[in-house]
Amino acid sequence: MTSTRSTTVSLALAGALALVPLGSATATAVPRPAAEAAPAATDRVVVKFHDGAVPEASRDAVYAGAAERTGDRGLVETFATADGAHVLRTGEALAGAELEELTTALQQDPAVEYAEPDLLATTAAVPNDPSYSAVQWSLWDEPAGLGMPLAWDLATGAGQTIAVVDTGITPHPDLDANVLPGYDFVSTAQNGRDGDGWDADPTDMGDHPDTVLCPTSPMPPSATWHGTHTAGVAAADADNGQGVAGVAPDAGILPVRVVGACSQGYITDVAAGVTWASGAPVPGVPANPHPATVINLSLGVAGECPPVLQAAVTEAVARGIPVVVAAGNQAVDAAQSAPANCAGVISVAATDVSGALASYSNFGSVTLAAPGGDPNAQILSTGNSGAQAPGAPTYTERNGTSMAAPAVAGAVALLREQSPELGVDGLRAALTSTARQAPGGCAPGCGAGIVDPVSALIEAQGGEPFSTRGGIGSLHRKIGASTGEPRSRELCALGGTPCFQEFANGWIVWSAGTGARWVAFLPAQWWGIASAG
């Protein structure tokens, strides 16, 4: 398959209105210590009343009381969220102490269950530079890759639906055959750039900066077409003679647009998108005729998981639908970023081409990891050539946890095709029990390790994913006391040599020239030595 490359710029997962490009990163950089998130600003707050506590006509009195105590007389109720909370618009964007004062005043009323800022989420991709990677290394059957050729022998995602809750989507020959009718949940016409609010057209109109909405944004002037890229990572068509392959190439893609101008979207819109994608009702919106079997969220906002988003995730999980989310690109513990810290999600850190935790990736409080790339070896996927309006389809390279999450969502689609009886807990167990350590190192924590779709598929069917064979198996039988039990399946390069298998105490490496050798650790340069041997 052939592909055309173009340089793209992506963004850091950051706080509400603070879009923070991270610049170039190196694979060996040490993750920064946990840091406090920058204060976020918003012109909306979410208020949930206890069931039956306040008649509808009395809500205004609660709002007026809070406004009087804070000096803000611009509170206007706009609409109800998917879980019955209400969104209030303030007279102006508030942040820090002013925002906390308002939500506290609302929360003090005994009828109020919670009052939270309606923060703006941003897409979770880091800035990138031109990449010289020639192929999709993240799909290879090597220590840093996913081993997809063997996985596709077992499942391709047929009959599954991956909801991509993101910036929307643009037409692309590597996606069109898999795209299902989606929905646009960007609630403001200006932010949506389509002249209206929620509607049935999830086309990405561009997330580039706006001189009114974000005049000081550090974003470059070109749109990222982030949703098109993540959709391709998850489910780009394969065996069609062009472009790239996704992890689940036969799965359907359900585009759900929740992020617009300035690469921002209100959390209430994100929550509505997740709810609708799961098949649950959303007031004023037609029912989703193609409920997702897995939902991907490659976006985020700093801070605790907002209640309205948690409610949407909880509803999806209760319906048996896993919600896979990007861990974030702030190089801090993922506990500091939503939706990675929402209960019930599958949160995904990113690894680089050496199989190490990527320098930008959040870590620690994550479920597992997947290839997200690094500035010198990125993730190639579907894209668009337009600068500030949709243009011709193309292929672009990015690196970030935004790329890692849809890889795991694709793996879930494979599992759901092969083992439809598995619930959310069973799917999570299949992924985590067969994940393998990051061969390049992940001292801050990558959860269960790097996802291995092949092993997960074998495990889900009651097989033994970590069996040994051939030269590696022969050496293991001789020195098993030194190696310990196998902790991964055997992985072989595209040419069939070298092959690698992880054990409790190290690795056995086999190559056609030297046979099997035992090594206590597996530095990246060993792969080339083994190949040459």
| Cα–Cα dist 126/72, whole Å | 37
Q: How far apart are CA 405 and CA 408, in angstroms?
A: 5
CATH 3.40.50.200 maps onto the chain at 5-14+122-126+142-459
Supply the DSSP string of 516-528, one letter for each residue: EEEES---HHHHH
> Under a CB-based contact definition with an 8 Å cutoff, are residues 458 and 447 in contact?
no
Q: Map tokens 């019930």 to a residue.
A: 344
Q: What is the dihedral of CA 119, 332, 324, 10, to 10 degrees?
A: 70
pLDDT of residue 29: 28
Is residue 361 part of the annotated active site? The answer reads no
Residue pLDDT, tens place only, 433-465: 999 988 888 999 999 999 999 999 999 999 999
Quick: pLDDT tens for 380-408: 999 999 999 999 999 999 999 999 999 99
SS3 6: strand
Query: Which CATH architecture best describes the domain 41-118?
Result: 2-Layer Sandwich (3.30)
DSSP string spanning 364-430?
Answer: SS-SEEEE--BTTB-EEEEEE--SSS---EEEEEEBSHHHHHHHHHHHHHHHHHH-TT--HHHHHHH
Q: Which of 226, 333, 347, 381 is catalytic?
A: 226
pLDDT of residue 448: 97
3-state secondary structure of 357: strand
In 3-state terms, what secondary structure has residue 276? Answer: helix
**Angle at 323 (CA atoms; ends 318, 466), nearest 5 degrees:** 105
Specify burial of residue 168 (Cβ count, 10 A radius: 0-12, 13-18, 19+): buried
Whole-prediction pTM: 0.86
pLDDT at 265: 94
Give the DSSP per-residue string, 147-173: -HHHHHTT---TT-EEEEEES-B---T
Whole-angstrom CA distances from 406 to 233, 270, 476, 520 are 6, 17, 35, 32
Per-run averaged pLDDT (10 residues), the chain, 533 residues? 27 26 26 39 90 78 84 78 89 85 91 90 50 65 86 94 98 96 93 91 95 86 96 92 90 97 94 98 97 97 95 98 97 96 98 94 97 93 95 94 98 97 97 93 95 96 90 92 92 79 91 87 53 35
Residue 204 annotated among the catalytic residues of the structure: no
Query: Exposure string (b/e) for 446-484, b if CB count within 10 Å is 16 or more?
Result: bbbbbbbbbbbbbbbeeeebbebeebbbebbeeeeeebe
d(CA 129, CA 315): 39
In Å, what is the CA distance from 96 to each residue of 41, 107, 300?
8, 16, 19
The answer regarding whether domain 5-14+122-126+142-459 maps to CATH 3.40.50.1820 reads no
Q: What are the tens digits of pLDDT across the range 83-114?
A: 889 999 887 888 888 898 999 999 999 999 99
Whole-angstrom distance, CA of residue 204 vs CA of residue 194: 9
The candidate with the shortest Cα–Cα distance to 350, out of 388, 417, 310, 400, is 400
Catalytic residue among 10, 347, 402, 488: 402
Distance CA 447, CA 520 (A): 22
Q: Sign of the CA dihedral 69, 72, 78, 82?
A: negative
Summarised one tens digit per residue, pLDDT across range 207-230 is 999 888 888 888 889 999 999 999
User: Which residues of the chain form CATH 3.30.70.260?
Assistant: 41-118
Residue 58 CB neighbours (<10 A): 11
CA distance 83 to 268: 10
| 303 touches 338 (CB < 8 A) | yes
Instruction: Tell me, yes or no, if 217 is annotated catalytic.
Output: no
Which of these is catalytic: 43, 166, 207, 210?
Answer: 166
SS3 state of residue 317? helix
Cα-based torsion angle of the residue sequence 373, 378, 379, 381 in order, rounded to the nearest 10 degrees: 160
Beta-carbon count within 10 A of 53 CB = 13
pLDDT of residue 124: 64
Bridge pairing between strands 346-351 and 368-371: parallel
- Find out whether 210 and 223 touch, Cβ atoms under 8 Å: no
